[in-house]
């Protein structure tokens, strides 16, 4: 051991040199420890216990302490520690609960010195006192910590962790009597070595076991702990109550922590599972490690800084049976690979952008985007003089761009959604209407698209009818299939209006229903005789909008043979489309059997706004008779995809609905469904429930169609006994009374039923509305202050 005397302290003149190097061990290492001269390292594991000397460019095996023929369990080390005062003194903790001390100064081959067999279970940690030569502390799985005086045969004192397994014990560097112990239940205890009966302080540090702790080398109040909850926490123990001052979140449970010498805020960690790397963190920057060593192929089990005052050399042992010396020059720095620019949107559309200062300043002549104000906030990090590798520019700038409230608003979306007509009228009319809506909102391209769609689709193949229209000279070229309302019987204004209402999808309330239903019924009655257009339309393979409308009317038709098609989806009669799907063959056949002859389109009355036709009439005649509609399908499809790409899914869905079958086959189901769901989602965010429901109804995807059939159950209370109604129907099974009586007119409510959640009373929508206009109390007289919003 003469060589050992050669090296005194590294700082005493000869600085440590070396390179990143490794050597193969024969077996996995469990722990490593260095001699205080930084020239030798001891590696211990289940099947290994060796001392290596650290040369300039290699490790050299110096001594194998596992001697003797018969392998004893005492050699199966869980931990090893080299005394920092005495170069000849080592201690190991064995898995069978034995603490062994070794004296390298012994002349014989077997250097084993003393054997303490006091622990019943595995000893997880041994620790020498930093200044006292003969004092050794051990922490075991059985929940006890024992303090040994190496001059005595037995332990001096025993500290009970109250049956929780001890994972780590560490003497405080500065405080002579204090040591910290960490436990499997997440607690950390501070003990005074003189008081074995009770801990001085205890606090819960982690959720789950705390595997390790380390006192700060300079700042004596700081204790770092690492646990299974993947966190490294730094505690300030100076205050009365342990205060968490830093917290680093790692990606795997933390097996070891070691403060980096000479760097106040740096700490090295390695993990217990999954992750094989060693990280050095700056605790003030807990999101990205400041350095990373990636050499190991398996879990790192022991890390130790080579010298107490040298921050550049790190030794590590691993389960992959290697011993490494890492030097900081070769460390990989994740910060290099990290993108130094950050971009984030706030809830209200503000945009924050952080980048390196240099980038920002060079760009400063560039205009800020939409922002009307710009707040650059600069913060500079103070450079730590001890940090050798801090060559990354550490100053960055944060700019916040506030959104112009107007420009970011989705007003156009809401208005468009409300005003678009999607069904219920002939295609051309829908297109015209939508074009107009778009135009009003200054969305010229969209308007143009609608107009073009009208041209493309509205009168293909309908030569005779188109001609008819032309010959009529009414200018309504695009309306060859205008439906079969006999508007003679009703004032055209009303019909028009009611239809508009419907297409807007805004007002479905019952009073409007009632207003318009009378006119509709008129229509329906005429339907029987006037339905002659429909078969013609269908045979021509044309506008379904018409048919839809007709079917809708059919459903309201009180004729017996058609009753069976009425699906009572809701409690009150629907006046809008129940079957949007033209694939309801029964209807079609029935219609086709109708004895009426086609060809009386001349009778149709144009409802189109007159100003929109002139644009089209010329182009209309250009392609007529020459190109089939399908010719344009690919273009239209591309157009839809384009709009969807652009983020205007509204347009894509609207066109899809309006064109219906013409374009549907061109676009695959999934895309369609995707569009529908996006649009519906958007509508719902803007609280346009009616419209979103309309879209759901009009969609042809089955997955979408069933959306509004989910969670249609309403749970209500009985208005008499105030208990929840359990069974189906309207009779409360507790008080045997009908629960759905209108509180105003005392009749059973059929149709829209409004119900106060506070007092369980309710009634007809109109009645309640009317009542609450004049009174704020519940009409049932229960005294509840009902509110109608």
Partner 1 sequence: MGLRRSGKSSIQKVVFHKMSPNETLFLESTNKICREDVSNSSFVNFQIWDFPGQIDFFDPTFDYEMIFRGTGALIFVIDSQDDYMEALARLHLTVTRAYKVNPDINFEIFIHKVDGLSDDHKIETQRDIHQRANDDLADAGLEKIHLSFYLTSIYDHSIFEAFSKVVQKLILQLPTLENLLNIFISNSGIEKAFLFDVVSKIYIATDSTPVDMQTYELCCDMIDVVIDISCIYGLKEDGAGTPYDKESTAIIKLNNTTVLYLKEVTKFLALVCFVREECFERKGLIDYNFHCFRKAIHEVFEVRMKVVRSRKHQNQMQKNKRATPNGTPRAPL
Written as six digits, the tokens of 603 are: 């009778």
User: 142, 214, 530, 601: which one contacts partner 1 (CB under 8 A)?
Assistant: 142
Closest CA to 476 of 601, 326, 626, 334: 601
**Cβ(765)–Cβ(753) below 8 Å:** yes
CB closer to partner 1, 182 vs 333? 182
DSSP string, 664-708: HTTS-HHHHHHHHHHHHHHHHHTT-HHHHHHHHHH---HHHHGGG
Chain residues 273-332 in contact with partner 1, contact rule CB under 8 A: 273
Q: Is 389 in the site for partner 1 (CB under 8 A)?
A: no
SS3 170: strand
* Binding-site member from 120, 195, 381, 685 for partner 1 (CB under 8 A): 120
**Closest distance of CB 142 from partner 1, Å:** 7
Q: In whole angstroms, how close is the CB of 207 to partner 1 at the nearest point?
A: 5
Whichever of 184 and 580 has its CB closer to partner 1, that residue is 184
Question: Which is nearest to 743 in space by CA: 761, 729, 755?
Answer: 761
- Kindly state the smallest distance separating residue 214's Cβ from partner 1, in Å: 17
Q: Which residues pair with 100 in a beta bridge?
A: 92, 115
Nearest to 224 by CA among 273, 275, 264: 264
Nearer to partner 1, 73 or 463 (CB): 73
β-sheet with 166-171: strand ranges across: 166-171, 178-183, 187-192, 201-204
By CB under 8 A, how many residues form the interface with partner 1?
36
Spatial CB neighbours of 199, under 8 Å, sequence gap ≥ 6: 159, 189, 190, 191
The residue within the footprint of partner 1, chosen from 20, 47, 386, 690 (CB under 8 A), is 47
For the beta sheet containing 322-327, the strands, ordered from the edge strand earlier in sequence to the opposite edge, are 21-24, 322-327, 310-318, 300-307
Residue 484: which residues within 8 A CB-CB, separation 6 or more? 527, 530, 531, 532, 533, 534, 550, 604
Q: Name which position in 163, 388, 448, 684 contacts partner 1 (CB under 8 A).
A: 163
Supply the minimum distance, in Å, between the C-beta of residue 198 and partner 1: 7
Look at residue 169 and give its three-state secondary structure: strand
Shortest distance, CB of residue 55 to partner 1, whole angstroms? 31
Write out the binding residues for partner 1, residues 59-118 only, by CB under 8 A: 73, 76, 78, 95-97
Taking the complex as a whole, how short is the minimal distance between the CB of residue 346 and partner 1, in angstroms?
A: 22
141 near partner 1, rule: CB under 8 A: yes
46 contributes a contact to partner 1 by CB under 8 A: yes
Cβ 539 to partner 1 shortest distance, Å = 57
- Residue 162 interacts with partner 1 (CB under 8 A): yes or no: yes
**Nearer to partner 1 by C-beta: 296 or 555?**
296
**121, 264, 664, 784: which one binds partner 1 (CB under 8 A):** 121
Q: Give the ranges where 324-483 is alpha helix by DSSP (H).
A: 334-337, 357-362, 411-419, 427-440, 444-457, 463-472
Nearest distance in Å: CB 72, partner 1: 11
Query: Which residue, among 637, 601, 371, has the nearest Cα to 483 in the 3D structure?
Result: 601
Which one of 80-88, 121-129, 307-315, 321-329 is the stretch in contact with partner 1 (CB under 8 A)? 121-129
The token pair at 399 is 């700019």
Whose Cβ is closer to partner 1: residue 163's or residue 364's?
A: 163
Q: Does 138 bind partner 1 (CB under 8 A)?
A: no
Distances (CA, A) of 383 to 264, 359, 377, 388: 13, 20, 19, 10
CB closer to partner 1, 110 vs 207: 207
Pick out residues in 190-249 that bind partner 1 (CB under 8 A).
198, 203-209, 211, 228-229
Q: Which of 40, 225, 253, 403 binds partner 1 (CB under 8 A)?
A: 253
CB neighbours (10 Å) of residue 40?
A: 24
Q: Which residues bind partner 1 (CB under 8 A)?
A: 46-47, 73, 76, 78, 95-97, 120-122, 124, 141-142, 162-164, 167, 184-186, 198, 203-209, 211, 228-229, 253, 255, 272-273
């Amino acid at each position: 051991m003469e060589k050992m005397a050669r090296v005194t302290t590294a700082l005493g003149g000869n600085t440590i040199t070396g390179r990143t190097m490794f050597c193969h061990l024969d077996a996995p290492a469990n722990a490593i420890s260095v001699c205080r001269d930084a020239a030798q390292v001891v590696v211990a594991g289940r099947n290994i216990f060796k001392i290596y000397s650290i040369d300039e460019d290699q490790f050299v095996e110096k001594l194998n302490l596992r001697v003797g023929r018969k392998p004893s369990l005492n050699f199966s080390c869980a931990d090893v520690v080299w005394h920092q005062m005495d170069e000849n003194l080592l201690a190991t903790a064995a898995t069978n609960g034995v603490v062994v001390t070794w004296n390298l100064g012994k002349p014989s081959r077997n250097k084993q010195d003393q054997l303490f067999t006091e622990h019943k279970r595995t000893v997880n940690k041994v620790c020498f006192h930093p200044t006292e030569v003969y004092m050794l502390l051990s922490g075991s799985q059985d929940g006890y910590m024992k303090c040994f005086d190496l001059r005595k045969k037995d332990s001096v004192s025993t500290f009970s962790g109250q049956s929780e397994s001890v994972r780590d014990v560490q003497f405080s560097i500065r405080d002579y009597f204090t040591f910290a112990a960490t436990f499997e239940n997440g607690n950390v205890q501070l003990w005074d070595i003189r008081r074995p009966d009770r801990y001085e302080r205890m606090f819960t540090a982690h959720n789950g076991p705390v595997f390790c702790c380390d006192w700060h080398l300079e700042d004596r109040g700081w204790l770092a702990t690492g646990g299974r909850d993947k966190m490294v926490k730094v505690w300030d123990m100076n205050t009365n109550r342990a205060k968490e001052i830093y917290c680093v979140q790692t990606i795997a449970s933390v097996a070891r922590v070691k403060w980096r010498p000479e760097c106040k805020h740096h700490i090295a960690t390695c993990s217990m599972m999954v992750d094989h790397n060693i990280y050095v963190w700056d605790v003030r920057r807990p999101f990205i490690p400041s350095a990373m060593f990636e050499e190991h192929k398996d879990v790192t089990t022991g890390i130790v800084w080579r010298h107490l005052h040298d921050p550049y050399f790190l030794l590590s042992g691993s389960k992959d049976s290697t011993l490494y010396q890492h030097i900081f020059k070769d460390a990989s720095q994740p910060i290099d690979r990290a993108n130094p620019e950050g971009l984030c949107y706030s809830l209200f559309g503000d945009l924050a952008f952080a980048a390196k200062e240099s980038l920002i300043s060079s760009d400063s002549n560039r205009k800020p985007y939409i922002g009307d104000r710009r707040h650059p906030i600069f913060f500079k990090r103070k450079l730590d003089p001890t940090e050798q590798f801090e060559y990354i520019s550490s100053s960055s700038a944060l700019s916040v761009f506030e959104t112009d409230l107007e420009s970011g608003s989705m007003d156009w979306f809401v208005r468009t959604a409300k005003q678009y007509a999607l069904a219920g009228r002939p295609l051309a009319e829908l297109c015209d209407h939508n074009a107009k809506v778009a135009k009003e909102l200054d969305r010229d391209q969209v308007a143009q698209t609608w107009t073009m769609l009208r041209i493309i689709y509205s009168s293909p193949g309908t030569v005779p009818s188109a001609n008819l229209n032309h010959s009529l000279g009414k200018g309504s070229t695009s309306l060859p299939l205008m439906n079969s309302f006999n508007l003679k019987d009703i004032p055209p204004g009303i019909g028009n209006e009611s239809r508009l209402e419907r297409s807007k999808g805004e007002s479905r309330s019952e009073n409007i229903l009632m207003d318009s239903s009378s006119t509709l019924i008129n229509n329906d009655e005429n339907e029987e005789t006037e339905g002659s257009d429909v078969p013609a339309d269908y045979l021509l393979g044309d506008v379904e909008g018409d048919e839809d409308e007709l079917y809708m009317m059919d459903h309201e038709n009180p004729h017996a043979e058609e009753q069976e098609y009425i699906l009572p989806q809701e409690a009150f009669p629907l006046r809008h489309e129940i079957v949007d799907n033209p694939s309801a063959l029964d209807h079609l056949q029935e219609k086709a059997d109708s004895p009426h002859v086609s060809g009386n389109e001349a009778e149709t009355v144009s409802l189109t706004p007159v100003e929109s036709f002139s644009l089209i009439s010329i182009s209309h005649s250009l392609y007529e008779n020459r190109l089939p509609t399908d010719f344009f399908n690919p273009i239209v499809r591309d157009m839809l995809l384009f709009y969807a790409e652009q983020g205007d899914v509204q347009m894509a869905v609207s066109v899809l609905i309006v064109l219906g079958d013409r374009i549907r086959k061109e676009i695959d189901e999934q895309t369609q469904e995707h569009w529908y769901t996006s649009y519906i989602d958007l509508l719902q965010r803007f609280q346009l429930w009616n419209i979103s429901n309309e879209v759901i109804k009009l969609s042809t995807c089955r997955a979408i169609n069933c959306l509004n059939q989910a969670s249609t159950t309403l749970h209500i209370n009985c208005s008499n006994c105030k208990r929840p109604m359990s069974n189906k129907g309207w009779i409360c099974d507790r008080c045997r009374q009908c629960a759905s009586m209108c509180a105003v007119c005392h009749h059973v409510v059929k149709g829209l039923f409004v119900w106060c959640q506070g007092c369980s009373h309710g009634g007809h929508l109109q009645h309640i509305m009317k009542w609450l206009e004049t009174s704020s109390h519940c009409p049932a007289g229960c005294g509840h202050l009902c509110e109608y919003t």
